[in-house]
């Protein structure tokens, strides 16, 4: 079952990718006590993710903070070393790169996709959500092959009209 607005995020292990190496955390620890703009991508370094999705959040980071977001995070079913390398190349210090290495978060939220025909196995769907102290406040899941509803611009519009 897919997570819905108003649901509490499941508590699963995650890793924060950083310059000092992976830092183990959990979803309840990471999302607790703050309002987070989370966006999920099928894979680091993949075409749409690198050319459009991550850059939209890098570009709009300050606008999102001005709209009441405490932290911006990107999550993908990749290991923390890949997420760290991608963040170093295409991200910014404004974006926390979360590694869902085993896909536990994607599976627990019901937001998986089968990328086997691309040699990627089980991955996360492309989506964005606003999480307030561990509770889903907004959820924008993309249709397969789409990129619109999970962009930083779309999220910013939602925050400004709420």
Give the integer Cα–Cα distance in Å for 95 and 50: 14
Q: What angle do CA 91, 159, 136 make, to 5 degrees?
A: 80
Grouping H, G, I as helix, E, B as strand and the rest as coil, residue 27 is: helix
Tokens for 31, please give them: 């999302």
Q: Does residue 91 contact residue 54 with C-beta atoms inside 8 Å?
A: yes
49 is an active site residue: yes
Q: How far is CA 9 from CA 18, 95, 103, 135, in A?
A: 23, 20, 14, 6
49, 67, 69, 129: the catalytic one is 49
Q: Catalytic residue positions?
A: 49
């Amino acid at each position: 079952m897919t997570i819905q607005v108003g649901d509490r995020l499941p508590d699963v292990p995650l890793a924060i990718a950083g310059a000092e190496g992976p830092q183990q955390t959990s979803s309840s620890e990471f999302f607790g006590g703050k309002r987070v703009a989370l966006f999920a991508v099928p894979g680091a370094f993949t075409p749409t993710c690198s050319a459009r999705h991550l850059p939209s959040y890098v570009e709009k980071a300050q606008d999102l903070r001005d709209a009441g977001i405490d932290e911006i995070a990107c999550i993908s079913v990749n290991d923390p070393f890949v997420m760290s390398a991608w963040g170093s190349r295409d991200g910014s210090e404004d974006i926390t790169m979360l590694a869902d290495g085993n896909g536990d978060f994607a599976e627990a939220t019901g937001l998986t996709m089968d990328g086997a025909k691309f040699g990627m196995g089980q991955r996360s769907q492309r989506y964005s959500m606003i999480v307030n102290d561990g509770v889903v406040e907004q959820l924008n899941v993309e249709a397969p092959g789409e990129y619109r509803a999970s962009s930083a611009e779309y999220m910013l519009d939602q925050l400004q009209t709420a």
